[in-house]
Structure 1
Amino acid sequence: MFVRIVKMSFDSSKIDIFLENFNKNKEKIRNFDGCRLLELYRDKKEPTIFFTYSYWESEAHLDSYRKSELFKSVWAKTKILFKDKPLAWSVDKLESLP
């Protein structure tokens, strides 16, 4: 399993549009084959910055999602809202303490 972290910066006037699209699709994304967790975070000091954390069984599962119609639809509506270029990381979880 690995974690995908995406940092997104939005124009303040477009945050509601982003959140509406995210809320409309979050269950579909979470239930996509191979996705084990989906979380959305908002920066405490800069409220126009959001992060998604998603846990995937394998890189092949994430690649399958990124090639899906669901991703294409969600991303098309999201990328036009960005204030800055999004940043993304794929990381391996080494340890987790409950």
Structure 2
Amino acid sequence: MLHRFVRLSFKQECIEEFQNLFHDVKEKIENFDGCQSVELLQDAEAKNQFMTFSIWENEKALEAYRQSEFFQSTWKKTKLMFNDKPKAFSMYKAGIKE
């Protein structure tokens, strides 16, 4: 399984809007072929800092999602709310061959 972490930083006035957007699309993301789960985490101190954590069957499934019309339209809305460039990391559990 591929673990995907994306660190996101938002304009203060966009925090609630982003949380609402994520709530609206979470189930659709989880129902996307190859997605096992997706969660939204908020920094304990910097309330405009978030991280999404998703688990995918493999890199191919994640890339298919990233190329989908659904992702493209959602990402377009999300990018307008950023106050910094997002940082993404894809990782596998150490010592486990997939």
TM interval, short-chain normalised: over 0.9
The within-5 A match list for 1:4-43 is 4-43=4-43
List runs of 5+ in structure 2 lacking aligned partners: none
Match of residue 62 from structure 1: 62
> 1:18-53, CA deviations, whole angstroms, 9 ceiling, x for partnerless residues?
111111111000110000011110000100000000
Question: Which letter does structure 1 place at the counterpart of 2:19?
Answer: L
Structure 1 residue runs of 4+, over 2 Å off? Answer: none
With normalisation by structure 2, the TM-score equals 0.93
**Distance in 2 of aligned mates of 1:38 and 1:93:** 17
Deviation for aligned residue 1:94:
2.9
The 3-state SS of whatever aligns with 2:8 is strand
What is the CA–CA distance in structure 2 between the aligned matches of 1:45 and 1:15, rounded to whole Å? 14
